[in-house]
Amino acid sequence: MNRPGIQALKRLIEAGEVKVLVVFKLERLSRNIDEFGPFRAFLQKHGCELVSATEDISESEPEGRLKNNIIMAVSDFERRNVAKKVRIKLREQARRGIWNGGMVPLGYDYDLNTQKLTPNAAEAALVRRVFEQAAQLVPLTDIANALNAEGHRTKPRIFARRDGTSLPVGGNHFRSDGLRLILTNPIYRGCIRFGGEEYAGRHEALVKADVWERANAAVKTLPPRERPSVIVERDRHGHILKGVVFCAHCQRALIPHDSGKKDPAGRPYRYYDCGQVVRKSRDQSCPVGRIAAGALESVVLGFLTKLGQHPEVTRTALADSRSSQRIDREPLRTSLADTEKALTEINRQVENLVEAIAAGGADLLGEELKQRVLTLRERRQELIVKREQVRQDLRGCDEAMLNEKRILAAIDRLGELLPRMKPEEQKQLVSLLIERIDIRAGREVGHGAPQRPLQLEIKVHIPELVEGMEQKVIVGDGLRHTVAPRQRTLGLSMKARLGNQGAFGASIIFAPFEHRVLPVVAKTPQRSETPRHPIHRAVAWHRELQRDPTLEKQAIAKREHIAPGSVTHHLKLIKLIPEIQEFLRGLKEADAVHYFSLRKMRRLAELPAEPQTTQFQQMKRGFKMGIG
């Protein structure tokens, strides 16, 4: 009775527009005896008669009402009995290891001859990669973003409709919620799930049982972290340290902020504000407070650029790191041994409880034994995640932080690349290589000193630094994500005095070495002297999409720092007739480009060829006459 058609019919009956309701057979109206009684009362209340085209269902006599009740009871029994037979068949198929149908899961193909799921080589490798990375505690959002960046998409499928047409589905971006469904599907470890029970399947498992269990423990224990796979960059003024710089006093991130005032060149003054100050009030006491963005970025980039010329600083940091790791190694080994021991004990208890239930213990204790098994399994999942975390931490201590010579060479290479990079490339490189920058306010040096003293603690990802610099990875293509132990970072300390805001306020690094740097001035895009009509961008993007079928509008939008809808609006200009496109490409006056705007032209492009010509001639006459 919750069908949309039935609900619409009831509204018509309530409005008095239906006096006779004709059905083919009574069972076509409903096969639920509990629903039929209230519906019959509803019809009687509003004076509507129920008539069947093939049966006598009149209730003018008591016998007719009894007959209808019997017909409905038989229909209800038949419905429930058919559903029971289908469930029995599906359960028996699952018990025999036969897949019960539905959407073919990613990683498999369905063989009609053998009626079995067979591995799809390319998709199976993708599924194994997802399970292995999830088992290593890589966030599902990061896995999805990496797959999307490499051009992988969800499994494409074709659904056949009842009218004979087909509907293509799938082929979309991966999302963390979709990956979570893949990871929790027991079909990938060779099992068939039905009715809450799992049975050994006839198909080949794509992942080992222990990898499946570790991945499921990770996704069930760690909280989900959802982010859109396609992110539109909203930092218009290019704050290079966005997301990695923190206040050491308040333990809050420094938030990029653009002042309303502008420098003599017309660029806004940029700052980093402590989150504690932003959250409460501007007069909130914080030693860091507000820092000029250009001065802070110049100090960090200048330090990383010159670090290769002072290898003794890196050697000292490596020595301190190894010393702290030697201290941490024994507690980690003890923790790992305790975790392994606890896992062994829980596995033993689970096996004992399962044997007790199989031997008939469930009849004595009922749900208590089953609840105890569920509690132990949840505890086992927590221990599996803890074991992986401790293993990663211990691996960071035992692997000797890579070779010192390779680290020094990578830092030297970094110093060569940084000055030649564009600001957006520098920003991407900083986000990949630097885990965190903690800033602490230092003491004033002398009365009335114009420079502001700060102490910075920089943590650099060692694997990304070494592998990225050795492979000479171009930042625009992105560094390959590696699952690195959390302790494999290099801690670098520096002290500096920040200069005044502006392009001429030099900052000075005075420890661990001395270096004078000018602030980084974000380059605001300047308008070209010769204005260009949007048709130029439309033609260029259209050619790109034709040359590369895998290229998507979202990728163009992200590259150009615009919304995806703007790309769509530009591409509509391709529908303009060639004469109009040629005219627009030849525009060189700012007033003409403004008059024949993107908004006007995309509306014109929606018309057929002849109306386009007519209306465009009117627009040209209006432009000559100065009509806006």
> Domain extents for the chain?
4-95, 108-221, 245-310+405-517, 534-624
In the predicted model, is pLDDT for residue 474 greater than 80? no
**Other CB atoms closer than 10 Å to residue 532's CB: what's the count?**
14
In the predicted model, is pLDDT for residue 448 greater than 60? no
Helix axes 367-398, 209-221, angle to 10 degrees: 90
Residue with the larger pLDDT of the pair 444 and 203: 203
Beta carbons of 104 and 355 less than 8 angstroms apart: no
Instruction: Average the pLDDT over 21-36 and give the result.
Output: 92
Same fold, 4-95 and 108-221: no
In the predicted model, is pLDDT for residue 380 greater than 90? no
In the predicted model, is pLDDT for residue 287 greater than 50? yes
State the chain's mean pLDDT as an integer: 80
Beta carbons of 453 and 444 less than 8 angstroms apart: yes
- Alpha-carbon distance of 623 to 617, in angstroms, equals 10
Beta carbons of 521 and 270 less than 8 angstroms apart: no
In the predicted model, is pLDDT for residue 185 greater than 90? yes
Could you report the per-residue pLDDT of 563-603, keeping only the tens digit for each? 878 888 899 999 999 999 999 988 888 878 888 889 889 88
What tokens appear for 559 in the block? 């590259």
**In 285-306, which positions are buried (b, 16+ CB within 10 angstroms) versus exposed (e)?**
ebebbbbbbbbbbbbbbbbbbb
What tokens appear for 349 in the block? 């208890």
Please give the pLDDT value at position 313. 82
Instruction: Average the pLDDT over 156-178 and give the result.
Output: 85
Beta carbons of 517 and 532 less than 8 angstroms apart: no
Please give the pLDDT value at position 481. 43
Please give the pLDDT value at position 394. 66
What tokens appear for 125 in the block? 């490798």
Q: Please check whether the domain covering 4-95 is classified as CATH 2.60.40.10.
A: no
Please give the pLDDT value at position 330. 67
**Other CB atoms closer than 10 Å to residue 207's CB: what's the count?**
22
Which residue do the tokens 């494999």 mark? 488
Please give the pLDDT value at position 228. 41
Provide, rounded to the nearest whole percent, the portion of the chain with pLDDT above 90: 27
In the predicted model, is pLDDT for residue 243 greater than 70? yes
Which residue do the tokens 């211990």 mark? 394
Question: Among 36-45, 46-55, 127-136, 348-357, where is mean pLDDT lowest?
Answer: 348-357
Please give the pLDDT value at position 365. 55
Question: Among 178-192, 349-363, 531-545, where is mean pLDDT lowest?
Answer: 349-363
Please give the pLDDT value at position 485. 44
Going by C-alpha positions, the residue among 272, 278, 279, 276 that lies closest to residue 242 is 272
In the predicted model, is pLDDT for residue 490 greater than 70? yes
- Alpha-carbon distance of 71 to 92, in angstroms, equals 31
In the predicted model, is pLDDT for residue 68 greater than 80? yes
**Other CB atoms closer than 10 Å to residue 132's CB: what's the count?**
16
Q: What are phi and psi of 254, to 5 degrees?
A: -85, 125
Residue range 534-624 forms a domain whose CATH class is mainly alpha
Please give the pLDDT value at position 120. 92
| CATH code that applies to domain 108-221 | 3.90.1750.20
Q: Is 180 exposed, middle or buried (0-12, 13-18, 19+ CB in 10 A)?
A: middle
CA 358 to chain centre: 43
Instruction: Average the pLDDT over 173-197 and give the result.
Output: 91
Which residue do the tokens 């470890």 mark? 189
**In 64-96, which positions are buried (b, 16+ CB within 10 angstroms) versus exposed (e)?**
eeebbeebbeebbeeeeeeeeeeeeebeebbee
